[in-house]
Structure 1
Amino acid sequence: MSCNAPANPDMSRADSSAESTIQVRGASKRFAIYETPVDRLKHIIFPGSRKYAKEFWALRDVSFSVGRGETVGIIGQNGSGKSTLLQIVCGTLRPNSGAIEVNGRVAALLELGAGFNLEFSGRENVYLNAAMLGMTSAEIDEKFASIEEFAEIGEFIDQPVKTYSSGMYVRLAFAVAIHVDPAVLIIDEALAVGDARFQARCFNKIREMKEAGVTILFVSHDVGSVRNLCERAIWLDRGSVRMMGSAFAVTAQYTQFMSEGEAADDASDAVVRHDTASTRPDDEMCQSSRESAGPINHWGSHIGSIVSAGVFDHLGVRQTVFSEFDDIFVRISVRLPEDIDRTNLSVAFSIKDTKGTDLIVRTTHDEKAIDFSFEASKFELEFRLKNQLNNGRYLLVAALEDRTSRVPHYYEYIEGASYFSSYVGGDRYGMFLSEITEKINVESGLLTRP
């Protein structure tokens, strides 16, 4: 991505239906909420005589587009309109206003229990569900063995679905969805009930489908999964788009919002926000602007307590590039306000990749080797580590915490306090360059000699 790329890449495609698999323009959805069943009946018998229901807007004026092969995450609290939006895209709900355009076959994993007949066997449901998604009997016959193998439910394939565990149900539903050759795959939290092994298989399959050009809408409360799978994210709040942009920036702001509570930033409720300089639209972190780049996310109850934070070499020089196994010194300078309780004070840092995954995390609370009961209000804490990161770009998180309770309270949290790259000569696999020794033990007589 160019350093001059538009801050809101989704809107740059908004008017080009030829390039978009999904286009949503001004979608709004209203539901009628009745206090009692009798009120619902009265509304049917005496329409228009009086209001027997309250209006609830699940969605208000939602617009976005998704390109072919793009994976977009949708995040938000329960009741924010995520599932309603997905059902509208699937066509199982119709909006009260707005236009929806989807090009190609859609396969969806919505809430658990949707799409299968509980009285039918797994085999019967495979044929029924695949047929509803547009496959012929011959196509289903051809792919059934592969669907059965991926689902891994064994002899239960011929048992009624009502006897399945939630994990078995999801395995079969996901297996069907990925085998119907969809142009669009929609996943709504369904994978959260699967075991760790199956989730890993699903995420690998999602990546394969993404590379093959399948467009994916992914709803999850797991910020890490959204960052790992998605290029962009949409944050829904009370039915409106609160923010859209790069997955890292949007999930960072959402995490801050969830940590601070709904009282924070009330003035921006129901306002569409896009990536700005403060939220770094370019996750590639262009080298030319790295040193002047601001934090992705910066918040806390005592902002200003962290005076500075950065990564330095053994000579004390701030660096933006480290070679393999170089010494890295993380330095965090702090000025403590008078009202901070030093008893449970903790200084912490983490190093993340550009998708926001925590790779290295350390806090003084871990070892409890630092006593902050001294009188000075200003000090610098230094962490020393070897650079065992593989080739790539990384960012530093610096934090000042109150660890009185199990969940830390943040006096200050700076995500993107510093940016740097790791350079490793030659091709290496994995995330880390572990110091591993090699040894071979050969049993006497097993080696042939010339």
Structure 2
Amino acid sequence: MDPDELLARSADELLARSAVTSLLERYEAGEREFGAIDLSEVHLSNVDLCGIDLGDADLSHAKLYGVNLSHSNLSNANLNGAQLYGVNLYGVNLGNADLQGVDLSDVNLSYTNLSEADFAQAYLGAVNLSGSDLSCANFSHANLTQANLSEADLSCANFSDANLNRANLTCVTQEFNEVTLDAPRQSIDFTGANLTCANLTQADLSHADFRGADLQNAILVGTKLMNAFLERTNLSGTSLDRRQKIIEIQNSQECAAQTPIQNRSLIQQIAILQSELKRQEIPAEEIQMDGSNAIAPSDGNGNRWAWEQLQLSSIAQVEIAKALDRANLLFFGNSIARLDLGGVRGSETELGFLVFNRVSVVPTFVRWGILAVDSPLDKHEDRESVEPNRDIYFERGGVRIYRFPYLQCLQTPDRVVQKFIELLALGK
């Protein structure tokens, strides 16, 4: 480095130190408004600047280590290339701030105004953005792995090509304020984003653009996806069962171990879920084929599903019927039974599948049992208190009921049938 460059660098460092000294002295004296101040390339460590106004300030390439900026105003501030390790940004106003390429890993940004902020190519791994206003914010190509965006406002936000692997987007909203109403586009942009194993439970993602996105093994329980763009979206293994007990996926190995739902588009799954949980009418054009035989509601309300002349109560039952068929088993679907109901003769319907299985050839030995698919509306605790009595009535009559979870029957029907056959052969 030549002497002139060295002198220039020393001068810049002296100016930065002078700016920091002046800032801290004025702050200590009670001053809070430092709008448009030049703090580029400054070094600050472990100082308390809670409530400071740094609107329009230049903090580009600043090194802020452990600084408390909670409840401060950083709107329109330039933080491009800044290092914010351990900075407390709780409740900060970062509206329209430039945070391109900033490393915010593990930073608490909950309940923060980040409207129109630019996070392009920023690193936000495990960052807490819960409850924040992210409307019209730009997260394109940003890394949001395991980030917490629960209950955040994502109106018109841009997540194109972002990495949201295992991110938490539960209950996110689109509230549309005066900023978003004037935005050039009126939807959340997830084009090309990685949302594998992300939790989108109860999120409002209506009209969102998921074209080319990867939602493999994502949790979409109760997610609003009306009029969403789903072209070229990877939806294998997505969970749509509203009542499913969700176990948080801790690592990518657990995620990869989940069996994907094959040959069924999300549009079809949503239509199916609505028919079973809400009993709403499903337009015929929304029901697609699954590559084998056609399935469709057999009444106007979607209460029954017809497959090979069987009248079934859910799409999960349809999948089990196909699996029983592939196993070459004799079975009856949803037969009506007359039996002893605790001293009173009565009828039971919607039993599931009465299945006959030949355990041995010589001598011929046949076992029979009922394979029951739990309803997606069942709560586990309610079922445990009610169903055992019902099952006992059937066991008194000489037949045992084997129950399997709805989602398991929907995703892995052949495994369910194989397990049923094994249990039936053992008489357990």
TM-score by length of 1: 0.28
Return the index of the structure with the highest Cα Rg.
2
Structure with greater proportional helix content: 1
Q: TM-score, normalised by structure 2?
A: 0.29
Higher relative contact order (CA 8 A, sep 6+): 1
